[in-house]
Amino acid sequence: MGERDRWLPRHARDDPEAAQAIETLHGGIPPWLRGHLDDWLRQSAPVDRFGFWEGRPHLRLQAAFGTTLPIHVSGLDAEQALDVIDYLLAEGGVDPTDCEELEQLLSEGRSAWRATPHGLQRRVEATLQRGVARVVGAPGRPGRYLEDAWQKAWGRRPDASGAYRAAVQAVEASYQPIVSPRNKRTTLGGLIRDIEGAPTKFRVRFQGDGPEENVHRLVAMLRLLWRSQWDRHGIVDEDVPLHVSLDEARDAVALSASLVHLAQDGGFIAAGA
């Protein structure tokens, strides 16, 4: 069932506030989901017939939770249970079918988390999700960088600077073969300089205000991504935060996905290509 045709109880169909309350995503584990997730853990994780963790994952979890006691599925609090699920997904120990089943549970239970083969990720607007998924699914390094950026931006343990860095790397890997094919070590700043130095050598598929002006507009997008990563170098000014914010990193990932799509889908090419 898609987002548009999600069932609502009759009392909420004509009451926007009631509908919004039902559709609200839950960041923890709401009561109606807990039993289902415990059952999923018992089915998909290395536990004995009594529900206690076994083997190496058990040791990893004991270290993570700071305990020497046996860990039981039902003894986990909500945050620990989500951490365990994230660990199992990220370590690759979950069968794809079990991952799909988990995602169905989380989606129908209105969880703010979605299950992926790389771990739990924040549930985001569907259009953005599909756009990034299209780029991530393409072969090559750009998709892998963007996948890493997405996990760092919306994963269980966000890393804003790491997400922004991977978003920039995705763009660099996409544009280097087009702009500077002989310079394998070029950076985003170098790509911008090379395009600005010879804008007539490139074409943007948008018609806009003319070929050269359209290239300059694309450069403006690249520069926005480049100049906004102000934590890529050491900064002496004590008034400047040490790291980009998580919101800035997520914006960078979204912008990077659009730029990578243009490069991969022929929206930006070398003239004469």
pLDDT digits (tens, 9 = 90+) for 146-173: 999 999 999 988 999 999 999 999 999 9
Query: What does the pLDDT average to over 19-31?
Result: 76
**What is residue 21's predicted lDDT score, i.e. its pLDDT?**
62
Nearest CA among 116, 140, 179, 158 for reference residue 149? 158
63 Rama sector, left if φ>0, alpha if ψ -120 to 50, beta otherwise? alpha
* pLDDT at res. 1: 38
183/208: higher pLDDT: 183
Look up residue 154 and give its two tokens.
């919306």
CATH number, span 134-270: 1.20.120
Are residues 192 and 226 in contact, defined by beta-carbon separation less than 8 angstroms? yes
* Tokens describing residue 247: 């919101």
pLDDT for 4 beyond 70: no
Backbone angles phi, psi at 5, to 5 degrees: -110, 25
Kindly state the tokens that stand for 83: 């951490």
Q: How far apart, in whole angstroms, are the C-alpha atoms of residue 217 and residue 89?
A: 40
Contact between residue 132 and residue 116 where contact means Cβ atoms under 8 Å apart: no
Structural domain boundaries in the chain: 10-123, 134-270
